[in-house]
Chain A
Amino acid sequence: MINDLALQIHEQTQEYAQLQQVVAQADSVRDTVSLLEWITAQIGQWSDVFIAISPLLPPQIVATLRGDAVRIRRQLASSRDEFAAQNFQQATKLTQLKPKVERLLSGTKDAWCAYAEAHVAPFVELTNIAERLPKMAQKLETIVGYLANARKLAQDLPPKTDTVQQFHAHLARLDTLLSDLDGLPGDVRVFLDKLIRGTATFADVTQTVFDWCRAEGLADKLRVARF
């Protein structure tokens, strides 16, 4: 009994000694892991989106963003090597890396937003025209909904690649819904455009425009206003 106990204690003390050594570095490891988890999450999101949108962006912007990402990667690789060499004090370095990651994400976002806004703008104009045309009234709500969704996705970095696809799907749908407006005569389109902006004059009311208005039932709905 005593002998067994003595043997047991001998083994326990050995294990305990080893554990004691590990436990002494635990805080540093925990901090490193914590920072890495954040970076991983950010980069994880960025990388998918970047892969998805980089073909859509201007090459020079893509090159800039990639350069930033390569520098971040280099620093992470350095830190990883030190960590693997039992230098667990990597929290400081990783903390310094955080603004760079954030800048990478914001640069990517800005590039995306520019791209998306540019693609949404034509549909905005068409929608404005559609809002004034009675024959588009039935589709208008749908059009406005898609337009809003597309504009919303254009305001922030897509969280995932599906979002980019979704954005393009919204644009495609708008295009379909507003296709009826594509065959309008030039005079009418100019006139409607000026009308929306409030700059239309009698000079813009050509016969074509006049006929189109009568045909579309807009004659009694438009007023002549003196400046």
Chain B
Amino acid sequence: MTQAFSNFVCWKPNRIGAVINKEALSVDRADFLATHVPMRQIAYERSPHAVASASEEDLLAELHHQADASQHTFVVIKGVPGTGKSHLIRWLKERYTAERPHDAVLLIERANTSLRGTLQQIIHSGLFDRAGLPDSLQRLHEAVTELTADTLADNLLDQIKTAILELEAPELPNRIKPEKIYSFLLDIVIRDQLKRPNGPIERIAAFLSEGRSDNSGADETPGFKPEDFVFQPDMLRKLNGYPEVRKVADDLQYKSELRDALAHYLNHLLRRYAISRATRLSAQDLREMFNDLRRHLRDLGIELALFIEDITAFTGIDEGLLDVLITQHTGEGNTAYCRMTSVIGVTDSYFSDYMPDNFKQRATHQLTLSSNTALGSSDLMQDETVRVEFAARYLNAIRSDKDTLKQWVRAGASATALPVICDSCPFQETCFNAFGFINITDKGEPLRVGLYPFNRQSISTLYRGLRDSYPRTPRTYLFDILGYVLQSHSARIESGDFPPPEDELAPAVQIPSFNPPTHRQIVEKQGGAAASRLMTLLLYWGDRSANRIGGNLGSLSENVFRAFSIKVIEGAIAETIETKPAPVTESTPTNPPVTTTETNRDTRLIDAWMTTGKLSGYDRFAEWMADLVRSFIDWQAHGISLEQVKEYITQGRFEIDGQTGKSQRTHRLFFARTPELRYVLQALADLNNGENLSQAQYGEHLATLSTWLRSEEERIVAFVREPSGLNPSADYLTQILVRNVVLLACLSGELNPTDDLLNLYHQVIESCADKHKWEDRVAATKDIYPPEWRSLMRDVNNQSNVSICRRSLLQLLNRPQGRSDAVRYVDAAQVLRILDDFAAADWALPELSLVPDTTDPTWSAALAVYGALRKSFALAVTACYNDLDSYHAEMTSAFAETTPNQMLDSMQNALQGLRTVGITYSARLDEPFNKDIGSTRWTPESFDWVLSQTGSALQTATLQGRALYAGASWRTDITFLRDRVQILRLCEQEMGKKAELLTKKVDELKKKTEAAQGYQRAIEQFDQVIALLDEATRDDHDQ
């Protein structure tokens, strides 16, 4: 019989959809009871007394306890969508109805998520017929009629508009004040936009009248959404009416907070006013109807029990319903009502956003099915046993035909009597051994239900692997995992194509990785055509490895492979792992070996890359690849310098197909997404993360890397050698560099003028080995060379280009003798030839015929320096000569009418005179005569000599001659001339000023000498008065 357990479908595909239904209340009662998994994780947030246990049986007992004590009961069951609220409420209703047959029980389903359907349920329940309340029924019928009317959309819109006037407005931004929104809703273009297909009004009207056929968004609260107010430009252009309408519409486009506020405001109007007005069924009507009903039931001695799947179904009149539910049967004015038990399901969002606080506080019991786990998760599903039981019960129900289950229900639906199809299966033993089973009862005879086509591991892997966007709830588990796999792939089982490739099994689930990752390659190699199915099986059903231990592969027995018609491969022989036979029990598969987080992370990234095409964390992988390539390729053998390797074999230049970031490098080496590269990346990750790999794994990895390197070496070498794709002549770069370094040496003053090429060559090579910092050389030209010269010196050394050029030239000219690169054997002939050509061209720098578009440092430096020299070298030399010419002319002019000797004498006498009369002058004027300053002491002979030499230099016509002079003797001569000319200028300037000063001072003194002239006057006065006295005292006057 074992051989026959292959491609076996033991369930009825048409039963899958019937049994696995999102709406618990849409499931047939027999299926519902057969698949019911007891709730064990109900958390009480509020209760009238301490409730110890948290199971559904305890909750039912609590309802009975309340009823027996004639206590009013209002139970609110919270939970995120899909956590099983409806399931629990239906189970409670079933049990409550069965155990309290005299109570009037009303179950209100979500019923296609429409208010009309909800009202129709109330009409059809017969409660009001039985109670003889024709007015109430009439109002319900009228409401249903209104909800069916074609004018519902317009009516809703008008009622919202009216609500703006009727309701007190909440705080709103100025741009959407109520009066503006009123005009906004009057505009025909806006109204059409809101009523458009799939627009907000249609959506709300549909909720009220029809619901949605696919139950999508069943848990959503109907209303406006912010995105409803994002309008297309052509629609905005049609707004030609009120300017303020256009303004509101425009504002909404640019401010999301306005859209949020408007949606919130309109929902407020909708829920508080518009829906009840549109249906002509107010909260007050609903309250009166139920109060009439309760009075009637009280008269009959009947108690009322309401089980409401989702309060959202009453949106618009929900406050009226809640008011009914909190109204007790005791207290003043209420004693005429019957006692009432009510249980309602609410989503967490409704509870927090819409349920008024006074209603919350008056709930007698407040429970939640999602209290202890992350947001959007079910408490119940945290238990792996529950998940397995869920799978087993649903699998059993799907395997069972409907009649069998109905018969079981009719027989009392005893849990211990549930029909189990596996009991009659001819492959039970083989199936249980291979896929496992579970006993779904703890009472009486065991009910063993097989997990085929799943096993515990696959159930666990699938649930744990749910993507973050999926809530971890029973609904997701049933629909997106169990239901999806069975619905989508049942036919594959029968045809022998199950399981599908890993990315097709269940889209809601992230694809797991092999552990160790290298096993993917093993499976791929050994699996042949079935490799992809084999991978899926090992990844989900197995332990995510290809370890072959005994007869098991990836902890799966051969029967598992046989069941899906997959040939068992040899796998990886796990020598160090003790072989254990797979037990035929409920035990879980062998746990996978512990691995590091880093490995898992890298492997996940690689797997995601292969699946999605996007590679995150690519920089690590590229770095590892670069390290590998850099160290494994014999670059010297390819004639590639270490500089080039350093430049091109880098993470930034290695671009992996699909990497999430983009390198800024112009030249990159692209590596396509291939299975081979996947294994290379995996090998690099494992080896670099220091994994405790087996010898075999090392061997596999190294073989992978070796093979890949061999295949890629030629491409990589070509890239490093010629990244730009151009093909210059062999000595093209050398020619550029030689010219560069000659002119650089000239610029830095390292060349002595010579006509001997060999001498020039020696000087140039010596300059290449120069250890001085270029910056120091630049600094040494300060205050000596003209700005053009100094600017050029700075420009050429951008990015340290000078040293790169010099170093690179030596490398290019070097003819290595052995492995050492410290000793150089320079190819002088090549340089001399280039120097000869360069000299013949009078050091002219022609435009380059080829300019590679590269960021290679050597090329970049060579081109940049060449460009700078070509642009500015001749100009810099000219600037030097201009200075020289200027100073030479000025000095010559100074000696035009005198000799140096005469001029120096005159200057010295003048300075002596100034000192004598106490007139100060610049100390520099004494420099020429200062014996302590040595070389700056002026001698008539030095003037003659320098003027002669500079005059001769100025006669030089060639750029080379001028440049050599400018780089060498110019410095001394210009310093001599400039110093003297500057002092002469200073002397002339100061002496001019001193002459003016002296003139002024002499004049002043002369003014003061009027008193001195008084000397003469005094003498004259003396003489005059004496003469007068002499005249007066002569004796002859008496006669």
Contacts and interface: CB of A to CB of B under 8 A. Distances in A.
A224 interface: no
A23 B1009 contact: yes
B468 interface: no
Given A2-B903, A5-B992, A9-B994, A16 B1002 contact: yes
A10 B910 contact: yes
Interface residues of B, number: 51
Nearest to A26: B1011
Contacts of A79: 1022
B909 A12 contact: no
B1002 A80 contact: no
B804 to A, nearest CB: 51
Given A9-B991, A23-B1012, A83-B1022, A17 B916 contact: yes
Interface stretch (B139-147, B957-965, B1026-1034): B1026-1034
Interface stretch (A46-54, A137-145, A164-172, A196-204): A46-54
Contacts of A80: 1019, 1022-1023, 1026
A17 B1005 CA distance: 10
Contacts of B903: 2-3, 6
A6 B991 contact: yes
Contacts of B897: 3
A37 B1020 CA distance: 10
Interface in A69-99: 69-70, 72-73, 76-77, 79-80, 83-84, 88, 90
Contacts of A59: 1038
Contacts of A37: 1021
A20 B995 CA distance: 17
Interface in A103-117: none
A54 B1038 contact: yes
A25 interface: yes
A77 B1026 CA distance: 7
A124 interface: no
B1011 A5 contact: no
A47 B1031 contact: yes
Nearest to B992: A5
Contacts of B1011: 23, 26-27, 29-30
B995 A9 contact: yes
**Which of A25, A46, A47, A54 gathers most chain B CB within 10 Å?**
A47
Interface in B995-1039: 995, 998-999, 1001-1002, 1005-1006, 1008-1009, 1011-1012, 1014-1015, 1017-1019, 1021-1026, 1028-1033, 1037-1039
B1008 A23 contact: yes
B990 to A, nearest CB: 9
A55 interface: yes
Nearest to B1036: A51
Contacts of B894: 1-2
A152 to B, nearest CB: 25
A40 B1028 contact: yes
Contacts of B992: 5
A207 interface: no
Nearest to B905: A6
B1025 A3 contact: no
Contacts of A70: 1029, 1033
Contact of B914 (A2, A13, A54): A13
Interface string A30-51: 1011001101100110110011
A47 B1026 contact: no
A79 B1002 CA distance: 31
Nearest to A37: B1021
B701 to A, nearest CB: 88
A12 B1025 contact: no
Contacts of B481: none
A109 to B, nearest CB: 15
Contacts of B917: 13, 16-17, 20
Interface residues of A, number: 53
A19 interface: yes
Given A12-B998, A23-B1005, A39-B1025, A73 B1019 contact: no
B190 interface: no
A15 interface: yes
Contact of B1005 (A6, A20, A40): A20
Contacts of B372: none
Contacts of A51: 1031-1032, 1037
Interface in B968-1004: 984, 987-988, 991-992, 994-995, 998-999, 1001-1002
A7 B1025 contact: no
A39 B1029 CA distance: 11
Contacts of B952: none
Given A3-B898, A62-B1038, A13 B916 contact: yes
A14 interface: yes
Nearest to A70: B1033
B706 interface: no
A7 B910 contact: yes
A22 interface: yes
A40 B1020 CA distance: 10
Contacts of B1002: 12, 15-16, 19
Contact of A32 (B909, B1005, B1008, B1014): B1014
Given A33-B1017, A33-B1018, A13 B998 contact: yes
B902 interface: yes
Nearest to B991: A5
A72 B902 contact: no
B910 A6 contact: yes
Contacts of A10: 906, 909-910, 913
B1006 to A, nearest CB: 7
A176 interface: no
B985 to A, nearest CB: 9
B862 interface: no
A16 B1001 CA distance: 8
A6 B1002 CA distance: 17
B907 interface: yes
A72 B1029 contact: yes
Contacts of A179: none
Interface string B80-108: 00000000000000000000000000000
A115 B998 CA distance: 64
A161 to B, nearest CB: 12
Contacts of B988: 1-2, 5
A220 to B, nearest CB: 56
Contacts of B1029: 43, 47, 69-70, 72-73, 76
B1018 A6 contact: no
A12 B919 CA distance: 12
Interface of B: 894, 897-898, 902-903, 906-907, 909-910, 913-914, 916-917, 919, 984, 987-988, 991-992, 994-995, 998-999, 1001-1002, 1005-1006, 1008-1009, 1011-1012, 1014-1015, 1017-1019, 1021-1026, 1028-1033, 1037-1039
- 5 pairs of A and B residues whose beta carbons are closest in the complex: A13-B913, A26-B1011, A80-B1022, A6-B906, A47-B1032
Interface of A: 1-3, 5-10, 12-17, 19-20, 22-23, 25-27, 29-30, 32-33, 36-37, 39-40, 43-44, 46-47, 50-51, 54-55, 59, 62, 66, 69-70, 72-73, 76-77, 79-80, 83-84, 88, 90
12 contacts: A2-B984, A6-B909, A9-B913, A9-B995, A12-B999, A13-B913, A14-B913, A19-B1002, A33-B1021, A77-B1022, A84-B1019, A84-B1022
